[in-house]
Structure 1
Amino acid sequence: MLNEKQQMQSLNDRLATYLDKVRTLEATNKDLENKLKNFRTSKVVSRDFTLYQEQLQPLRDQIIAAIIENSRLALKIGNAQLAAEDFRKKYEYLIRQTVEADILNLKSLKEEYDSHQTSNNQEIEALKKEIEEMTKQHGKSVSILKEEMSGTVSVDITTTESPDLKQILDDLRAEYEDIVRSNKQELEMWFNKQVETKQAAAIQETDVSESSKIEVTELHHQHQSLQTEMDTLLVSKGALEDNLAAVNGRYQMELHRYAALVGTMEGELVSIRNSITSQSEDYRSLLNIKEKLEKEIAMYRQLLEGVELGAGGASSAIGFDGGRGFGGGLGVGGRWWRFFSSSSISGVPFMLNEKQQMQSLNDRLATYLDKVRTLEATNKDLENKLKNFHEQSGQQGFHLVPGAAAAPP
């Protein structure tokens, strides 16, 4: 009896330990439910492109700086071209004005020379006419003198010196030649003076044109250097655009890969949610079974207490044989139950009925233990999956924002 009472006490202790374990499992499942609830009420914020934006920002700044520099150089080139065009037009205008002024001056000189030549020709004609008149008068005078001399008988020869006409003509010729020579010298001096003045003006205009040519040449060289620099910047811009296109392509591939990974993770999240839902349903069913078993265990304890009270201090024997059980292998139930009482044997039918109840209770306890072990293994697997999912979410850049609804996959 003492051995059997110790076995019953051990059985009760094991039942109490098992109930504590069940309560611990309840607390664990409750914590898991809270985690699941928090996870369901959390918002998954995916596709965080902050890192890519930080990497792309320097390239954008370089492109904008290159565009601004290109615009500045294009503006400089345009201004240089406009300045060169203005200098060219100004140079052509000055050359045209100089040539037109020279032409006008030469025309005026030609007209003046023509007028002087006309006046000189008129003077020469007048002198020629005067010489002819003087020659005619001299011939007439000679003929008159000859007639007078031939008509007289007595001729008084007077030795008067006759004028030398040849000398007179030579003197007149020399005088007019001196006049013509002096006029010619004056005209030549005036012409040379005018030519020197025009040559000085032409030299000055030539100097201005040479300086303008030098300035135009410098502007042309500056234009060529700016054009070369612009071509270099265009090549650099093309290289930067190609680099940007390559970076964009690479980032697009990365984004597609991350999008595929997000799709995979969302699929896994859906499967985990479905698994959690099914596990929750199983857990609720097991909780219902647990409540029923707790009621049966309470009834079992009441039966045990009733058996001890019904014994009434008499000697009794309880045998345990085989059966399924819990803990370290101690079984409850078995194939037969023996109860001996020295005072009365009328309780045998009652004990046989309780034997069947104990057998059923033992079977239910064994089944419940199997389900609880399965639930523990499933909960452990679920916790591992949740842990792995949180680790993968942290590595892939997903952020859980508490208090927001979960984003649908």
Structure 2
Amino acid sequence: MSLRFSGGSRHLCLPSGSVRPPSGGAGFAGSSAGGNSVAGSGFSWALGGALVSAPGGGHADGTLGNAAGVGFAGSEGSLLSGNEKVTMQNLNNRLASYLDNVKALEEANAELERKIKSWYEKYGPGSCRGLDHDYSRYHLTIEDLKSKIISSTAANANVILQIDNARLAEMKVLQCSAGGNVNVEMNAAPGVDLTVLLNNMRGEYEALAEQNRRDAEAWFQEKSATLQQQISNDVGAATSARTELTELKRTMQTLEIELQSLLATKHSLECSLTETEGNYCTQLAQIQAQIDALEEQLHQVRTETEGQKLEHEQLLDIKAHLEKEIETYCRLIDGDGNHNRLEHEQLLDIKAHLEKEIETYCRLIDGDGK
């Protein structure tokens, strides 16, 4: 399709596909290569000296011109017909819807990043109550996912930026050509309606964007499911390890209590043993002293007994000797009847004296024997 302006020999060519509505609605937006969205950006254009602007996140009050009649929708030689005006108004509305969607996606992205950050703070390395879990093997997958999401967002933003640039170029040409009388010659195939063409293109790009969104979502869900499964397995292993550690701690505490009890019992028994040994040593010393005293007494008794034995033997010898003398004297007395009376009396005295001595020695012997 081509537009020819006779006022200044202006010629505008719109090749096929130069005017494309973005997915989810039509509008103008820009994006950097870093993948940052431009929900706060806007666009503006001038039509016949009137400036119409649409800030980020809004639209230009649903119109493309002001009420003064200056622009394409005026009563004097307006460039846009009623259908085109409605189309541009729809595009404005879709731009507002697109910016709202971008803002909602930004909020959802921020919420998702916050949840991911919270999850990493809660379940990341060194956060499981003393148990260190290394999730560094997931970092490459996460970074790959982030880079792919960023590249997809950047590509989408670049496409939208190209569409916006084409629209801005078209609006600039229309603004420049709106100053004088304009004769428009349409070299287009008969029966081609711009509204139908725009609607078809919009439908195609919306379908393509929806398909890309579904593919990206499916791919992200698949990767997220794998990652979530790995995380669940690691969490299960961590829970099992934590349970086992708790059981081991409980067992260790029980063994420590039992050890303390045994140590206390050992100390008590050692104290009792020491006290008993002390008591037995004291008693043994007393008994040994008694034994020494008894041995000393026994030695004295033995010494006295030996002396008494010798004395007893001497007395027995004396007794035997005296008995022999008595027998001799008796024999002499009995056998010598011719002795005189004086000698007889002397012998009787000697006999009586000897008998007394014998009785004395017998008493002594009997007393020593007792």
Q: Output the TM-score relative to the length of structure 2.
A: 0.52
The 1:226/1:87 distance shift into structure 2, 3 A limit, reads: closer
Q: CA contact under 8 A between 2:308 and 2:368: conserved in structure 1?
A: yes
Q: CA contact under 8 A between 2:312 and 2:365: conserved in structure 1?
A: yes
Q: CA contact under 8 A between 2:329 and 2:347: conserved in structure 1?
A: no
Match of 1:360 in 2: 357
Letter in structure 2 aligned against 1:110: T
Match of 2:252 in 1: 230
Question: Structure 1 residue 311: deviation in Å?
Answer: 3.0
The 1:367/1:357 distance shift into structure 2, 3 A limit, reads: same
The 1:351/1:184 distance shift into structure 2, 3 A limit, reads: same
Q: Map Cα deviations across residues 360-395 of structure 1 (whole Å, 9 max, x no partner).
A: 34323322322221xxxxxxxxxxxxxxxxxxxxxx
Letter in structure 1 aligned against 2:241: L
Q: CA contact under 8 A between 2:326 and 2:351: conserved in structure 1?
A: no
Structure 2 CA distance for aligned equivalents of residues 217 and 194 of structure 1: 33
Report the 3-state secondary structure (helix = DSSP H, G, I; strand = E; otherwise coil) of the residue aligned with 1:89.
coil
Ranked by relative contact order (alpha carbons within 8 Å, sequence separation 6 or more), the top structure is 1
- The answer to whether residue 151 in structure 2 is matched with residue 108 in structure 1 is yes
Question: Structure 1 residue 276: deviation in Å?
Answer: 0.6
Letter in structure 1 aligned against 2:369: V
Match of 2:222 in 1: 200
Question: Structure 1 residue 224: deviation in Å?
Answer: 2.8
Report the 3-state secondary structure (helix = DSSP H, G, I; strand = E; otherwise coil) of the residue aligned with 2:310.
helix
Structure 2 CA distance for aligned equivalents of residues 369 and 350 of structure 1: 28
Letter in structure 2 aligned against 1:365: C
The 1:185/1:300 distance shift into structure 2, 3 A limit, reads: same
Structure 2 CA distance for aligned equivalents of residues 371 and 185 of structure 1: 147
Report the 3-state secondary structure (helix = DSSP H, G, I; strand = E; otherwise coil) of the residue aligned with 1:223.
helix
Letter in structure 2 aligned against 1:102: L
Letter in structure 2 aligned against 1:109: S
Report the 3-state secondary structure (helix = DSSP H, G, I; strand = E; otherwise coil) of the residue aligned with 1:188.
helix
The 1:94/1:113 distance shift into structure 2, 3 A limit, reads: same
Match of 2:204 in 1: 182
Question: Structure 1 residue 193: deviation in Å?
Answer: 0.8
Question: Structure 1 residue 296: deviation in Å?
Answer: 0.9
- The answer to whether residue 357 in structure 2 is matched with residue 371 in structure 1 is no
Higher mean C-alpha displacement, 256-265 vs 246-255:
246-255
Question: Structure 1 residue 180: deviation in Å?
Answer: 5.9
Question: Structure 1 residue 262: deviation in Å?
Answer: 1.8
The 1:367/1:181 distance shift into structure 2, 3 A limit, reads: same
- Counterparts of 1:217-256 in structure 2 under 5 Å? 217-256=239-278
Structure 2 CA distance for aligned equivalents of residues 217 and 130 of structure 1: 65
Structure 2 CA distance for aligned equivalents of residues 168 and 297 of structure 1: 187
The 1:366/1:177 distance shift into structure 2, 3 A limit, reads: same
Structure 2 CA distance for aligned equivalents of residues 257 and 105 of structure 1: 90
Structure 2 CA distance for aligned equivalents of residues 349 and 182 of structure 1: 185
Structure 2 CA distance for aligned equivalents of residues 87 and 119 of structure 1: 52
Question: Structure 1 residue 124: deviation in Å?
Answer: 5.0
- Counterparts of 1:41-120 in structure 2 under 5 Å? 88-90=132-134, 92-93=135-136, 96=139, 99-120=142-163
The 1:294/1:96 distance shift into structure 2, 3 A limit, reads: farther
Q: CA contact under 8 A between 2:319 and 2:361: conserved in structure 1?
A: no
Residue of 302, 316, 319 corresponding to 1:280: 302
Unaligned runs of 5+ in 2: 1-125
The 1:280/1:168 distance shift into structure 2, 3 A limit, reads: farther
Q: Map Cα deviations across residues 36-84 of structure 1 (whole Å, 9 max, x no partner).
A: xxxxxxxxxxxxxxxxxxxxxxxxxxxxxxxxxxxxxxxxxxxxxx9x8
Letter in structure 2 aligned against 1:370: G
Structure 1 vs Structure 2 CA RMSD? 4.1
Report the 3-state secondary structure (helix = DSSP H, G, I; strand = E; otherwise coil) of the residue aligned with 1:203.
helix
Structure 2 CA distance for aligned equivalents of residues 115 and 362 of structure 1: 159
Structure with the larger helix share: 1
The 1:220/1:246 distance shift into structure 2, 3 A limit, reads: same
Percentage identity across aligned positions? 8
Match of 1:293 in 2: 315
The 1:354/1:217 distance shift into structure 2, 3 A limit, reads: same
Q: Map Cα deviations across residues 226-282 of structure 1 (whole Å, 9 max, x no partner).
A: 333333333333333333444444444433333332222212211211111111111
Letter in structure 1 aligned against 2:361: R
The 1:251/1:165 distance shift into structure 2, 3 A limit, reads: same
Structure 1 CA distance for aligned equivalents of residues 167 and 137 of structure 2: 44
Structure 2 CA distance for aligned equivalents of residues 120 and 184 of structure 1: 14
Structure 2 CA distance for aligned equivalents of residues 105 and 221 of structure 1: 39
Higher mean C-alpha displacement, 295-304 vs 277-286:
295-304
The 1:111/1:342 distance shift into structure 2, 3 A limit, reads: farther
Letter in structure 2 aligned against 1:106: I
Q: Map Cα deviations across residues 70-108 of structure 1 (whole Å, 9 max, x no partner).
A: xxxxxxxxxxxx9x8897413x44565554443333333
Q: CA contact under 8 A between 1:286 and 1:371: conserved in structure 2?
A: yes
Structure 1 CA distance for aligned equivalents of residues 331 and 162 of structure 2: 178
Structure 2 CA distance for aligned equivalents of residues 109 and 263 of structure 1: 102
Letter in structure 1 aligned against 2:221: Q
Question: Structure 1 residue 199: deviation in Å?
Answer: 1.3
Residue of 208, 232, 237 corresponding to 1:210: 232
